[in-house]
Amino acid sequence: MTDYNKILESAGLRPTDAREAVLGALYRIGRPASHGEVAEALKGQLDRVTIYRNLYLLEEARLAHKVQGVDGKWRFCAHDPDVVGCPGDHPHFLCLSCGKMICLLGQTLPHVDVPDGVKVQGKQLVVYGLCPECSRDRQK
């Protein structure tokens, strides 16, 4: 079992039970997970607000990156602690039917020209549609 507390401490975060649980849930899910998915994985053992705050904290501490799907929900994806740089710099796919999001690794986001004076803080490329499972279910 991975020592999540070590990871939390090395990122400058106080290792608490809640924090450990949230980070563990993200690792276990293994793809960008919404607050709801994390809450479900933790079976109500934590308050919703605590989950929200810790997801936000993990992202601030660069232990996870976040992407928003076209359903308006933010999803958080835990980084492999050995990965260097911002691992969120790739497109994501969102299934509109089941709500699962997956990272499209191995591809990078294109450079985008912006008007003079614009200060870019980030960008995200979201592809949406039906995942293989949901696509198959629809045809039946």
Partner DNA sequence: TTCCTAATGCAACCGAGTTGCATTTTGAGG
Partner DNA sequence: CCTCAAAATGCAACTCGGTTGCATTAGGAA
Residues of this chain, 5-34, that bind its own copies according to CB under 8 A: none
Q: Which residues of 83-106 are buried (b: 16+ CB within 10 A; e: fewer)?
A: eeeebbebbbbbbeeebbbbbeee
- Mask of contacts with DNA, 45-84, x by CB under 7 A? -xxxxx-xxx-x---------------xxx----------
109 binds its own copies (CB under 8 A): yes
Work out how close the CB of 55 gets to DNA at its nearest, in angstroms, rounded to a whole number.
8
Q: How many C-beta atoms lie closer than 10 Å to residue 121's C-beta?
A: 4
Q: How far is CA 129 from the centre of its chain?
A: 19
Which span (5-13, 17-25, 81-89, 112-120) binds its own copies, by CB under 8 A?
112-120
Our CA dihedral for 55, 79, 70, 45, rounded to 10 degrees, sits at -40
6 binds DNA (CB under 7 A): no
Work out how close the CB of 17 gets to DNA at its nearest, in angstroms, rounded to a whole number.
5
Size of the site for DNA (CB under 7 A): 22
Instruction: Sort 3 into a burial class: Cβ within 10 Å, 0-12 / 13-18 / 19+.
Output: exposed
114 binds its own copies (CB under 8 A): yes
**Contact residues for its own copies (CB under 8 A)?**
68, 70, 72, 91, 93, 96, 102, 104, 107, 109-110, 112-132, 135-136
